[in-house]
């Protein structure tokens, strides 16, 4: 029960942070990505406000356990492969075209209008389609 409460509180804080920072505003995000036009640099502060505290927090992880049990994940191996490149390209294309990524898309479902619901449906369809597509690609083109 406490784990669910902590997850709810963390999710609510995350969603509120996305809303307050403007990450759920598609025009603000697209303005950030328009580096050769009417560029809006404010999201650089949002990213810095997320990256810097997390970098500090991860420095304190070794030898500790999460508050609600389990273990922190191991640091992944820095490996550039097909999955990372393809995932990055698809994420960037979706972010640039729609002005949304998964967290802000979910956070904006209650007020974002039909376009946000269409994006969320497409995102969920992509999540469902990815495992079988990845399995087929791995059989035909091993990532090496």
pLDDT digit string, tens, across residues 85-126: 888 898 888 888 888 888 888 888 888 788 889 989 999 998
Which structure tokens are listed for 13? 């804080």
Please state, in angstroms and rounded to a whole number, the distance separating the CA atoms of residues 116 and 12: 19
Please state, in angstroms and rounded to a whole number, the distance separating the CA atoms of residues 28 and 7: 28
What does the pLDDT read at residue 125? 93
Contact 100, 108 (CB under 8 A): yes
Supply the range of the domain harboring residue 19.
2-140
pLDDT at 144 over 60: no
pLDDT at 63 over 70: yes
pLDDT tens for each residue of 71-86: 888 877 888 888 888 8
pLDDT tens for each residue of 10-51: 989 988 888 888 888 888 888 888 889 888 888 888 888 889
What does the pLDDT read at residue 121? 93
Domains of the chain: total:
1
Helices (H), 79-113: 82-98, 102-107
- HSE-up of 106 (CA within 13 Å, CB side)? 10
Torsion on CA atoms 54, 58, 72, 6, rounded to nearest 10: -40
What does the pLDDT read at residue 143? 62
- HSE-up of 57 (CA within 13 Å, CB side)? 9
Model confidence at 54, pLDDT cuts 50, 70, 90, reads confident
pLDDT at 128 over 70: yes
């Amino acid at each position: 029960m406490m784990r669910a409460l902590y997850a709810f509180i963390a999710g609510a804080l995350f969603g509120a942070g996305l809303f307050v920072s403007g990450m759920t505003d598609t025009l603000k995000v697209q303005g950030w990505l328009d580096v050769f036009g009417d560029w809006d640099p404010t999201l650089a502060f949002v990213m810095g406000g997320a990256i810097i505290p997390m970098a500090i927090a991860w420095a304190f992880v070794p030898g500790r356990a999460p508050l609600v049990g389990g273990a922190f994940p191991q640091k992944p191996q820095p490996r550039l492969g097909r999955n990372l490149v393809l995932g990055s390209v698809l994420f960037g294309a979706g972010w640039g075209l729609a002005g949304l990524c998964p967290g802000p898309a979910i956070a904006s479902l209650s007020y974002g209008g039909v376009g946000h619901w269409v994006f969320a449906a497409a995102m969920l369809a992509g999540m469902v389609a990815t495992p079988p597509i990845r399995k087929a690609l791995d059989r035909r083109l091993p990532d090496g």
